[in-house]
Chains A and B, each alone.
Chain A
Amino acid sequence: MDKEIRFSKVTHTYQAKTPFAQNALDNVSLTIPAGSFTAIIGHTGSGKSTLVQHINALLKPTSGSIDIFGRTITPNTTNKNLKELRQHVGMVFQFPEKQLFEESVIKDIMFGPKNYGASETEAKSAAVEAMRLVGLDESLEDHSPFDLSGGQMRRVAIAGVLAMKPEVLILDEPTAGLDPRGHKEIMDLAEYLHDQNDMTIILVTHQMDDVIDYASDVVVMDQGEIVKHGRPEEIFAAPKWVYKMHLDLPSSAEFAMKLMDAGVKLTKTPLTIDDLAAEIAKIAGGEGPKE
């Protein structure tokens, strides 16, 4: 099956034909290759969340169409038979811990698979596997999700999505409000799923360091339009433009800019810590970082 996600001239207007009408997406055409790790970045209110909610047809375009998993979503698509599509596309919302409701952790994780017709035992084994993936201890199985810490609750929520074994995983700011360790664990999980399970990952984020460290594709949005789509190095090659889009540079590039302002001459703008170390080592005449 064709696993590419294709947006063709998609426009989305909230509350169309009222004084409250708000254009959130404006003539967006975009192809997200199968198996990519795509980061979607942009200023607050640029339409990132609206864009990703089209991928599993929670929102339908006001005009244009989206091709995904052999389905074409158009403005006339009805709400029937979308289940199959949604099983393929797992969606982790912002603060997903808010969606927990079952009496025990395991039941909450089994909820998704069971909705998609898995038997009790199938759902259970999928849930146990998902718990292992997100690093939840097995002993938490029978706890109430409401007794857990914030970080653990988020993992339960993510496990609930992973248990459905999606092929595309959409993460809408999955690390918002987490401590640095929780942040790294969630991002590493996304990378693992991408590398080992061949999942297409779509990440909405404000963390440019994550974009550099994990993403293979970057989509930059501004006021409902896609203004740039390319590899992370291409996106961050023009710092002035990045600032104009109200975005930040990755912290290494930020630091390098300050060095350059202070008169230090670097041959290129380093995007990762390793690049930065190599550049500095070049000037200092050393060897660069050793692996």
Chain B
Amino acid sequence: MSNFIFGRYLPGNSWIHQMSPQSKLLLSFYFVIVIFFANNIWAYGALSVLILFVVIFSGVSIGYFLKGIRPLIWLIIFTVLLQILFSSGGHVFWHFGPFSISDTSLINGGYIFIRFLLIIMISTVLTLTTTPLAIADGVQTVLKPLKKIRFPVDTLALMLSIALRFVPTLMDEMETILNAQRSRGVDFGSGSLKHRIQAAVPLLVPLFTGAINHAENLSTAMEARGFTDSEHRSKYRVYKWKGKDTISWIVFLLVGVVVLFVRKN
């Protein structure tokens, strides 16, 4: 678990750290869409080169980065295997019952593999270089147009930032309760399924009551500090669009054009 870096923030001051969160969010989203347009080796090559530069510009060492996404590799391999064994068409090399391996299925499997890898890498870069609160702010900015259809963007952003803020707190609390119950003789993660489910009760009940207590205290404290509603608030953290954002967008758009150009129709 401790080697798992997906969804964590690594403090730094790189090019990507300095970009505004809204443009990072939109860029990641855009990148994922472009990935699905790619359908040949050249397009994937262009995207891979781009992601390599992104990782370099994020200031995170590539070795650490690869080690961190390693736990996800099993998920990827599983999906790729399904793709290889069950897709039909093309020249068949080998088949057994419902399973078969053909040249198209191998190529499809390879593409799925690269797609997965690219998506995981871009989203890992996003979370590694952006604090959770900045992500929440970014989401608020990105979703602003939805206010037109009376979607409660500000409330959602508030909930999101509180939720993100309490993830580590609740994780710490879970760890403590886990340890406390362990010292009282609970064996987590062993025995039969029924036993394991029963063992979760001494963990879940305190965790929920703790969360409810937090919510009660937090809402009281917020009201005491003059919070009335989420609509009429000014902002302390302001993320301005910078030159770095513009340059990054230009690069990404160019690569997008290249992908559209080289993809086979």
Contacts and interface: CB of A to CB of B under 8 A. Distances in A.
A18 B183 CA distance: 28
Given A18-B64, A111-B202, A161 B2 contact: no
Given A86-B183, A91-B183, A115-B184, A99 B209 contact: no
Interface in A164-180: 164
A161 B181 CA distance: 10
Nearest to A112: B184
Contacts of A15: 2
B176 A101 contact: no
A95 to B, nearest CB: 8
A272 interface: no
Interface string B165-202: 00000000100110111111111001000000000011
Contact of A83 (B177, B185, B206, B210): B185
Contact of A58 (B5, B182, B206, B209): B182
A58 B183 CA distance: 8
A98 B210 contact: yes
A200 interface: no
A83 B205 CA distance: 22
Nearest to B12: A19
Contacts of A161: 183-184
A15 B184 CA distance: 25
Contact of A101 (B2, B64, B185, B206): B206
B176 A53 contact: no
B180 A96 contact: yes
Interface in A43-85: 53, 56, 58, 79-80, 83
A83 B2 contact: no
A53 B209 contact: no
Contact of B201 (A58, A87, A101, A112): A101
Contact of B206 (A86, A87, A99): A99
A30 interface: no
Contacts of A98: 173, 176-177, 180, 206, 210
A232 B177 CA distance: 32
B52 to A, nearest CB: 20
Nearest to B60: A19
A113 to B, nearest CB: 8
Main SS class of interface, B: helix
Interface residues of B, number: 24
B158 interface: no
B3 interface: yes
Among B5, B179, B180, B184, chain A packs the most CB atoms within 10 A around the CB of B184
Nearest to A170: B183
B128 to A, nearest CB: 10
Contact of A93 (B5, B180, B187, B202): B180
Among A58, A99, A112, A160, chain B packs the most CB atoms within 10 A around the CB of A99
B204 to A, nearest CB: 8
B184 A160 contact: yes
B10 interface: yes
Contacts of A80: 190
Among B5, B173, B180, B210, chain A packs the most CB atoms within 10 A around the CB of B180
A288 B184 CA distance: 48
Contacts of B205: 101
Contacts of A53: 179
Given A83-B185, A160-B184, 18 more contacts: A15-B2, A53-B179, A56-B183, A58-B183, A86-B182, A86-B183, A89-B183, A91-B180, A91-B183, A93-B180, A94-B176, A99-B177, A99-B181, A99-B206, A101-B205, A112-B185, A115-B185, A146-B209
23 contacts: A16-B2, A18-B3, A58-B182, A58-B183, A79-B190, A80-B190, A86-B184, A91-B180, A93-B180, A98-B173, A98-B176, A98-B180, A98-B210, A99-B184, A99-B202, A100-B206, A101-B202, A101-B206, A115-B186, A160-B184, A161-B183, A161-B184, A164-B184
Nearest first, the 6 closest Cβ-Cβ pairs linking A and B are A115-B185, A101-B205, A99-B180, A91-B183, A112-B184, A15-B2
